[in-house]
Structure formats: C-alpha cells, structure tokens
Structure 1
Amino acid sequence: MGEALQTALTERYDTLTGSLRERVLTFVLAAFDSLPAYRDADAAAFLERVLPVVLGVQQQMGQVTDAYLTAMLADMLGTTTATAPATSAVAEQLRGVPPATVYERPFVQVRTALSRGHDLADAVHQGRTRLLSITETDLQLARTHAARGAMERGGAKFYRRRLSKTSDTCALCVIASTQRYRVAELMPIHPGCHCKPEPLPGNRDPGQVLDEQLLKDAHAAIARDLGASDSGGRAPDYRQVIITRQHGEYGALLAVRRQNFTGPDDVRPA
C-alpha cells in the first residue's frame, strides 16, 4: 500500500491518542479541582477515583501504539506480523515507582507551597500543574515503552522522532527529530513531550542526520536566540544546550545541561 496507507494509519493513530490524552487530562484535572480540600483524606479519595482510569488509559495508549506500529511495519516490510497482546509495561515499570506514590505528589506540592507562605489558591494551582505534568508524562512513557516492544518484535532496527502536529514543539524535540535512533534505545522524552516514534524501513543504517535542512534551521534559530551558532557544535558548545540524560523514573530524558535530575541509582526501590 505504501505511503497512502502509512499516512492514513498515522492520522488515525494521532486522532486516537489525541482523544485519549484529552479525555484523561480533562477527567483528572476536573477530579482535582472538585476536591473540597487537599488533606490526606482528600488525596486518598482522589487516588481511589482517578487511578483506575489513569492506569486504564495508559494501557490503552500502549495497545493503540502497538497496533499502529505493527501495522506500519507490516506495510513497510511486507510482512504479516501479528500484534502481541498487552505489550505495554505495567504502571510500576514505567517509572519504577508505585503509581499511588506518583499521584500523591500534587498534594505534597500543595502542602509544600503552603508551608512556604503561598496562599491556598496559588498552592492548589501549583499542585494542579504538577498533576498535569505527571499525567502527560505517564501517557508518553506508556507510548514509548510499547513502541520499543512493537518495533523490536517487528524487526525494525532504527526509528526517528516524529514531531506532533497538534501541540507546541520545543527546540529540544526539533533538533532530536532530525536524527535517527536505534530501536534498542528508548526514545528520550521530557515532561510535556508529544513526539511519537516512527520506524525507518530496512535494516541499513540511514546515517545520523535524517533532515539536514531542519537541522540547519534549528542551528539558525539557536544563533538568533543565543547570539552564536556552529554546525560543529563548538561555539556555543551545543553540549551545554541540548543533551540526553538519565532520569530516575522517566529513563532517557531530553534536557539542558544545567538542569539536575535524579539518576537511576538515586531512586530507591519501592
């Protein structure tokens, strides 16, 4: 079928995953906003109501991603690889931390803000923002874990990051989208990232740079904003601008050099 089928598959996948994201975020934020208070009892009620829905949507995200990539690879390679059941990781495997612990963090954020003198409205806003970031990140983790399994099973060796057409895209993702990656490497993410993995046909390494023009445009934007640019990454030192680091829960994480994140060895087993 070729390009026409692949375009149709991608559009359908984007519609489904966009709908999943919108529905779960609306539900989770509405549940948080409707709480009478943000004490321990309220947190417990919130978790009881929200966690089953969140975990179910994460599973759906993994299953939809698996089906999408299996169909893409079948068309690219001319195979009939079957979709494996439930290839997505369980919630605890996404971060290495129990989901209840993760979704209690917005309430910790509220209490911390109050202890630092913020008024209640601002403290709740901070907790809500934390909840939004957590939920979005977990959806992306469900996507990336399922994607790696589907691509490995389908025989893909390399993939690229495809930028989202429906959300703002940061410079980190733009530059990363010009590169090819090996399937064995989990796709780097950052909180709020909506990029999706797209397998590259064939087993031959296409080379590191896939989109030379976009990469040049990104360098030009960096020169405009930082005052200097260099295709060799020397002035300014691009290692100080964009790198990949390991986050204790997310795994591979796109980040700027001066941000400090918890490493895998710093997160205690649950």
Structure 2
Amino acid sequence: MTSALLGMVQAKARQRNALEELLEERLAAWWRMTDPYDDDQIAYFTEQAIPLMETAQQAIVSLTTAGQMMYMQELGVDLNGFVPDVPPEVRTFPHGVVGQFGKPVQVSANGRRSERLAVSEPFQRPARQLRAEVAEGKPFDNALAKSAERVKIIAGTNLALAAREAEMQIMQEAKRQNSTVIGYRRVIHPEFSVSGSCGLCVAASDRIYTVKDLKAIHTHCHCETMAVTRTDDPGRDLNENDLKSLYQDATSTYASDLKRTRYKVDSHGELQAVLVPKKRGQDVLRTKAYTAPPDLDEFQRQYEIAQRQLPLFRKILAQTRADGFDDNSNPVKYQTAQIARFEGILSGNK
C-alpha cells in the first residue's frame, strides 16, 4: 500500500463525512422547525428536503466515483471512462405491505429497470412516528428528539445507498473489463464512527467478497469498498492499520473481540442487503478510537437560527393559545418544546 493511496482514502472519507454531517444537521434543523401535526408544514418540509437530498446523493456518487477510479488506477485497472448511473430513488420498493408506501417508481439505472420507492416517502415517517408515540403516552420532547434523529438516519442511509450503488456498478464493470479483479473488501473508517467502531463492520472486513455480493450496510455505516486483484489487496493493509489504532486507543476490552463478532447479511425490503448480528437482538460490540472536537461552526449556525426562530415561536404559541388550545394539546406541546430548545441554545446549552 502506498502513502499516496492512504492519503486518497483518508481525504475521500473526510469529504464524505463532512457532507453527511452538514446534510443531516440541516435537515434535522428544518424538521425541528416543522409542526409535526400540520400536514401542510410536513409537505413543505418534504418539498425542501427532496432537492437537498438529491443534490447530496449526486455529490456522494461523484465523490465515490472519483475515489474508486483513483483506487483502480493504483491497482493498474483502467475502466475507460465508465460512469455509474445512480438514480435519485436509491431505495427499492418494499412489496408485500399493501397501501403503505403508495405506488412504486419505475426506474432505469445502468441499463436495468427496477421498481423504487419515491424519494419523498421516507420523509413522511418522522411525523407518523412522533404522532404514534405521543398517542401512546410517551413524552412529547422525547418523541420529537427521536423523530429528529430519524430524519438524520434517513439522510445518512440514502447517502450510503447511493455510494453503495455507485461502488457496485464500478466493481462489476471492473470485473467485466479486467479479469485480474477477483472481488472487493470492505474498508472500515473508525475515525468517523462517533458511536464507536462497529464490530459487525470489523468482522465483515476480514473477508473478500465477489462483485455479485451486494455490500451489506447498517445505520451510520461508514465503510467503503476497495477492489481486490489476483496480486493486490490494499484494503487489507488499510484495515489492519485502523485495527492497530483501535487496539492502542481502546477505552474498553471490546477491541480484542471486534474481529470475533458474529454477523449475518439479512434482506431488507428497501435497503436490500443489511448487516445484522448473528442472533436477533444481540448487542453489537463497539470501541471508540477517536474523539472528535466540537463543531463550533455548527453551534454558531444553530445559535443564529435560535435567535431568528425564538421570537417567531413565541408569537405562534401566543396565537395558538388564543385560538383555544390548552397546554396538553399537541400543537402547544410542540411549540413549547421548540421554545425551550431555542432558549437552551441561546443560553449556551445545546
């Protein structure tokens, strides 16, 4: 493995991570300004989210393509200008659930037709989730926080799906054009795993997959792929370097067990191949190796948003109460929670 290749991998990973964080935080901020009980506001949120989501997906596809082409060049594989064809609809349509997801979208990608889920549909789910949890008696603040986290997961998952589709098309084309390509390996990125390096990914990175094997993902997965040829397996060296760092910096005894994590690949209606524990419900071992510094720019942005939104929400709350809604009504609960959040940001507590 050359130092140039290591630099390429790290630079690409940093760019992807920065784009993902920016997208997730912006969409979550927009969602928190949306009344989850107002269908018009939810529709407006979705209308704003879709072009941002699609633009971010296109950026990820471009970044993934550039990275994979550089990796291939290092391996001496020339793809003759091949460009992957990844549509905005990155989720497959989950058949078998009558009426829940509307009609499938007919999509042609890389010469193949398939039925996909509309980009807008996942962004309806946070509101449905919040309403259901509040109806069950769960605290509104908790339901709101969980729905905002779900917005982030939707965005991050879409980016992972777009990157995976680009990677898989490139891998398959590389195999078609060059018989020395025998498969690919998962390359882990513990430096961007805020919740800790995932034992599932570490265990799965220890083998070579054929280009027909769809890379299995999971929530907040930061793995990428790297081709393996008959004579070279650079991803193995990269993984070993990261594992050495994990073992040195680990804050628990879990590091030594990461490679022994038992996993399997499940089929998911929308996401297709997903990485899950061997036994359903089993905890996934994680080990932290890095501590990311606080993002002061993001806090400043949230501070400015709070300055603008706090007076507005106070006026909205006053009008809502004047319209006859009491403190136990969902609109008042939502607006009160937003006011408390903005006041917390302005007082220096995120």
TM-score computed with the length of structure 2 as normaliser:
0.61
Partner Cα separation in structure 1 for residue 66 and residue 240 of structure 2:
31
Partner Cα separation in structure 2 for residue 253 and residue 149 of structure 1:
18
Structure 2 counterparts to residues 22-171 of structure 1, below 5 A: 22-77=21-76, 79=78, 81-84=80-83, 87-96=84-93, 97-155=117-175, 156-164=181-189, 165-167=191-193, 168-171=196-199
Give unpaired runs (5+ residues) of structure 1. 260-270
Shift of 1:189: 0.7
Is 1:250 aligned to 2:271, yes or no?
yes
DSSP 3-state at the match of 1:99: coil
DSSP 3-state at the match of 1:152: helix
Partner residue of 2:225 out of 197, 206, 209: 197
Letter in 2 for 1:89: V
Shift of 1:92: 2.2
Shift of 1:32: 0.7
Q: Which moved more, 1:125-134 or 1:186-195?
A: 125-134
Partner Cα separation in structure 2 for residue 187 and residue 33 of structure 1:
33
Partner Cα separation in structure 2 for residue 36 and residue 78 of structure 1:
52
Q: What's the C-alpha RMSD, in Å, of the aligned pairs?
A: 3.0
Shift of 1:80: 6.2
DSSP 3-state at the match of 1:91: coil
Letter in 2 for 1:125: A
Shift of 1:8: 2.6
The sequence identity of aligned pairs, in percent, is 24
DSSP 3-state at the match of 1:95: coil
Shift of 1:27: 1.1
Is 1:13 aligned to 2:8, yes or no?
no
DSSP 3-state at the match of 2:91: helix
Query: 8 Å contact 2:57–2:159 — kept in the other structure?
Result: yes
| Residues 197-219 of structure 1: per-residue CA shift (max 9 Å, x gap) | 1112x24797xx998996xx99x
| Residues 143-201 of structure 1: per-residue CA shift (max 9 Å, x gap) | 1110011122233331111111221221111111111111221111111111111112x
Partner Cα separation in structure 1 for residue 142 and residue 240 of structure 2:
44
Letter in 2 for 1:122: N
| Residues 39-82 of structure 1: per-residue CA shift (max 9 Å, x gap) | 31221010011111011101111121012101210221253632
Higher gyration radius (CA): 2
TM-score computed with the length of structure 1 as normaliser:
0.78
Check 1:62–1:112 CA distance in 2 against 1; reply closer, same or farther (3 A cut). Answer: same
Check 1:5–1:111 CA distance in 2 against 1; reply closer, same or farther (3 A cut). Answer: same
Shift of 1:89: 2.2
Partner Cα separation in structure 1 for residue 183 and residue 79 of structure 2:
19
Query: 8 Å contact 1:32–1:128 — kept in the other structure?
Result: yes
Check 1:81–1:4 CA distance in 2 against 1; reply closer, same or farther (3 A cut). Answer: farther
Q: How many residues align?
A: 238
Check 1:193–1:114 CA distance in 2 against 1; reply closer, same or farther (3 A cut). Answer: same
Letter in 2 for 1:5: A
Is 1:186 aligned to 2:214, yes or no?
yes
DSSP 3-state at the match of 2:192: coil
| Residues 94-142 of structure 1: per-residue CA shift (max 9 Å, x gap) | 3332121111111111111111112321221121121121111111111
Partner Cα separation in structure 2 for residue 65 and residue 143 of structure 1:
6
Shift of 1:83: 4.3
Check 1:197–1:78 CA distance in 2 against 1; reply closer, same or farther (3 A cut). Answer: closer
Query: 8 Å contact 2:28–2:149 — kept in the other structure?
Result: no
